[in-house]
Amino acid sequence: MAVSNSKEKTTNRESHASQQPVGFSNSGFVQDNGLSSSVPALDRTIPSVIQVSPMAMDEGQAAERQTWGNPVEFLMSCIAMSVGLGNIWRFPYIAYKNGGGAFLIPYLIVLLVIGKPLYFLEMAVGQFSSYGSVKVWEMVPILKGVGYGQALATWFVVTFYCVLIAISLFYFFASFQTVLPWTVCDLNWASFSTCYNSNANSNLTDFNTTGFKSSSDIYFNDEVMKKVSSIDDGIGSPDWKLSLCLLLAWIIICAILMKGVESSGKVAYFTALFPYVVLITLLIRGVTLEGASDGILYFIKPDWPKLLDVNTWYAAVGQCFFSLSVGFGPIIMFSSYNSFRQNIYRDAMIISFMDTATSFLGGVTIFAILGNLAHESGKNVTEVVTASTGLAFVSYPDAIAKFQYVPQLFSVLFFVMLLTLGVGSAVSLTGCVVTIICDDFPHWKRWIVVTVVGVIGFFSGLVYVTPGGLIIMDIVGTLGGDFIIYLMVVVQTVGICWIYGLERFIRDIEFMLGIKLSAYWKLTWAYIIPLVLIFIFSYAMATYTPLREGDYVYPSAATGFGWFLAALALLQLPLWAVYVVYKQEGFTVMERIKKSLKPTKDWGPRNPAHRLEWHKTQNPHYVDSYASRIWVPILPRFFPRLFHQD
C-alpha cells in the first residue's frame, strides 16, 4: 500500500469518478437520478468523517496491522483453511448418507450459487476494511452481534476439530510400531472373539462376518476412543493418552499463531500442498485394489429421488459452509491482512475450485477403498461404511494395511497429511477468535491472548476425549455449528445487501479491485442466498427429528446442551443490537436506531490514502441507508409509544 503515489492515484481516481455514473446501468437495479433506494451511502458530512475519525486517519495505527509477506501466502493460507479434514472424513460420509452420486449435483449447485459468492463477499468485506469478523460491522453497527455469534460458532467447532488432530497424532505415534496395531486382533482386546484381521492378505469372501468387526474398527472405537453405545449414564472420564495428544495439538496451533500471519503464512505452504502428495498417492494405490471400481461407481451413481429431499440440500449447504469455512469468520480475518488492491476475485475462484476438486478426490479415494473392503469381506459397499470420523480412522488405515511394502511409512505419511489438514484449518479458526480479541483490545499482547485461548481450548476439548465424546461431537457439530451458521449467514447477507446497500457494496469492491462485477454476484448476494437458506432452514426445522446414531436417540440432556450453545450464539444478535442502539446519541429511540443502521466514522479503507480516494467516489446526495429511509419510518406506526417524540 504505497502512499508515495497517492496524489497521482487520487487524481486519476477523481477523473474516473467524475466520468462514472452514480449507478451502474448493467446492475439490474432501477436507478432514479442517483436516488435509488438500493444505493445507500454516507452521511452528507463526508468532510467531517475524514477529520473526526482518528483511527481511520492515523497512519501509524494503520501500519500496525500485519500484512502477508506476499499474495501467495494468503492464497496458501486460504487453501489450507478450506481444504481440511472435512474433505477427507466429512464429505464422503455426507455424500453416502444423501444418495451417493446424487449428492454431487446439489453440492455443485450450492457451491455455485451460495458457496462461491459468499466466499468472495467475505473476502471483499475483510480486505476493504482491514478488520476482523466483528469490527467489520462498523458498516452496520446494529448487526455487531453477527460477528460475535459467528465467533462462538467458530469456537464450538474448533474445540472438537482439535480433537480430530489429537486422534491423528495418536495414530501417527502408533504408526512407528513394527506391526501396525490396527491390522491384527489383539488377544488382550475385550472384543477379540468377534474380531477379524484387517491385514493386507485377508480374504473373507468365504467367511461369514455377521457379528464380527474388523480389527481397525475395534481399535478405533474400543481401544482409542473407548466408545460407549449410550451416554444415558454419563460420558465418562477423559482418556489420558488422548488428552496428552490434545495438549500437543493445542501447543502446535498456539506456536503457529504466536507471531500472527508472519509465522502462519510461512507454515501454510506446507499445510496447503503436502496433503495433495499423500492423497494422490493413496488414490493411485486405491484404484489398483480389487473391488475399487464398485466403490467408485457407488460414489458417482446418482440416486435421483434424493434430489427431491430438502434434507439433501440442507446437508449440501452445511457441507459447503463447513468445507469452505464460509460464515465462520476466518475468511474475513485472513483477507483483512491483505494489501488493499489484492486480486481476491481471482483468489476466490482458485480456492473454491481447489476445495471442490479435493472433496471429489477424497471421495473417489475413500470409496475406492470402501469398494475393496466390501470385496474383501463379501459385503455390499453400503455395509462397510462407518460413521464420518470412522472413514478417516477405520477405512483409510485398512487401505494402508494392504500396502505390500513398508506400510508403516505410508501410515506415517497419511497421518502427517491428516495433521497438516487439521492444523491448517484449526489455525484459521483459532486465529479468527484471536483476531477478534486483539481487534477489540489492541493493547493486549498477542502472545497472552493466544496462550489464554489455547488453555481454554484444551480444557474445553477434554469432553470429546471421553467414552461419550463422539456423541457430544456430533451434537455440537450439528447444533453448535451448522445450525448457527445458517442463520448468521442470512443476517450477514441481508445486512450487507439490504441495510448497508448492495449498490454501495458493489461500488466499494469495484473501487478496491478496479473491475466491474456482473449481475451474477448481485443476484446471488441479494436474493438467492438469503431466500434459499431461509427456505431450506425452515423446512429442516419443520421436519426436525431428534439427533441419533443408528437406533440410539441421544438423551434430551445432551441435545439440550447443544440447543443451549445454539441459543447462546443466536442471542448475540438482539443483545448487541440493544446495546448498540442504547449507546447511540439521540433523544428518541427512532433516532438511535437510525444511527445504528448507518456506517460509523471508522468504516472504510484503513489506509489514509485509500480512504481519501474512497471518500471522493462517494455520492453526497445519498443521506441515509436503505433501512433508515424505508424501514425505520414504518416502525412508529406499529410501536407509537416507543417512538413517541415530545
**Residue 83 annotated as part of some ligand binding site:** yes
**Phi, psi (rounded to 5 degrees) for 552:** -90, 115
Q: How far apart are CA 296 and CA 489, in angstroms?
A: 34
Residue 115, CA distances (Å) to 48, 295, 353, 585 in order: 38, 28, 11, 38
CB contact at 8 A, 347 and 268: no
**Cell numbers 474433505: residue:** 87
**Phi, psi (rounded to 5 degrees) for 100:** 60, -120
CB contact at 8 A, 265 and 78: no
Assign residue 234 a region: left if phi > 0, alpha if psi is -120 to 50, beta otherwise?
A: left
**Residue 193 annotated as part of some ligand binding site:** no
Rg (CA), the chain: 26
Q: How far apart are CA 125 and CA 603, in angstroms?
A: 11
Instruction: Report angle CA 156, 321, 120 to the nearest 5 degrees.
Output: 120
**Cell numbers 445487501: residue:** 497
Quickly count: other Cβ atoms within 10 Å of residue 251's Cβ: 12
Q: How far apart are CA 391 and CA 318, in angstroms?
A: 19
**Residue 53 annotated as part of some ligand binding site:** no
Start-to-end CA distance of the chain, whole Å, equals 50
CB contact at 8 A, 335 and 122: yes
Handedness of CA 326, 329, 330, 332 (dihedral sign): positive
Pairing mode, if any, of strands 552-553 and 548-549? Answer: antiparallel
Supply the DSSP symbol for 289.
S
Residue 388, CA distances (Å) to 96, 249, 516 in order: 10, 21, 42
Q: How far apart are CA 15 and CA 8, in angstroms?
A: 11
Q: Which residues are annotated as a binding site for Na(+)?
A: 83, 87, 323, 421, 425
Q: Which residues are annotated as a binding site?
A: 83, 87, 323, 421, 425
